[in-house]
Structure 1
Amino acid sequence: MAREGGRARRRGQGELEGQVLGALREADGPVTAAWVRQRLGGDLAHTTVVTILTRLLAKDVVARERRGRSFVWTPTADVARLAALRMHRLLDGQRDREAVLASFVTALPPGDEQVLRALLDAADTGLPRSADTGEGRTED
């Protein structure tokens, strides 16, 4: 567990998956679970790291390849994709999707609301859009 103020702190849901995926993305190529464990500070059990990697494999955000008696792991997506998968899973578990989406959108700060609007506009037109550059946007 992560330490905070000298005592163990429990990680938030999905936090460890994000950290593991982030470590994989920093690697120069395929790496072992032991490498990931060391990269994260070594305070996790090896089995915990393997469990997280296996969960990420099931979510199709990492790939594994047998190398000798163990596996090496590579990322197939970024942390943003993992967060989007979590959001989809949460939304899929709700009965009233419209109410959840409405609540989410109305709680967005103005900057995020504009990014979401631009992304939705780009999806409607089929044009590629980079949310931070305005690339691909057409004027009405």
Structure 2
Amino acid sequence: MTRLGDLERAVMDVLWDGAPGASHGVTVREVAEALDGRELAYTTVMTVLDRLAGKGMVEREREGRAWRYRAAASREAYIAQLMLEALDLGGSRDAALVRFARSVTGTEADVLRAALSAEAGMASSPADGGPLTDRVEAPAADPASRPGRAGETAER
């Protein structure tokens, strides 16, 4: 997963937060206008979007002479993937998860409990979408089989 620089994050925020006409994607000009407080050149925004497309963070579609860009995944899916990668940094995944669980607020703990309960229910009824509206793919049992982890081995 790609960690985003400040400008990349600002551009992704425009895409994630739904710039006008974002359902069909946005043009470089629309992104530049949404970032008007940053006084960026059109070509700078175009370069950032092109690099984000190369990283797989955005999808683009040709419309006439211009491209329309949209986020390849939701902000929540991106953050969840960063969290999973952080767990792979080393040490004990279990210890990190326990420490994380102890650090969340009561409301956040309720959200986690509901998500885990819904996931447990999904195991017996995969056709039922359950109460979770933005599902994130569960990690593979073998960390080396995750996308971007080919050929990597890690001892746990």
TM-score, structure 2 normalization: 0.59
Structure (1/2) with the larger strand percentage: 1
The one-letter code sitting in structure 2 at the alignment partner of 1:130 is P
Query: 2:129 is matched with which residue?
Result: 128
Query: 2:28 is matched with which residue?
Result: 33
Query: 1:136 is matched with which residue?
Result: none
Q: CA deviation at 1:30?
A: 2.5
Q: CA deviation at 1:123?
A: 0.5
The one-letter code sitting in structure 2 at the alignment partner of 1:41 is D
List alignment gaps of at least 5 residues for structure 2.
123-127, 134-156
Q: CA deviation at 1:125?
A: 1.4
Q: Give aligned pairs, total.
A: 121
Distance 1:26 1:13, change over 3 A: closer
Q: CA deviation at 1:46?
A: 3.9
Sequence identity percentage: 31
Query: Separation in 1 of the partners of 2:87 and 2:48?
Result: 22
RMSD: 3.2
Query: 1:43-82 deviations in whole A, cap 9, x for unaligned?
Result: 2344553454345445655310133444221234332222
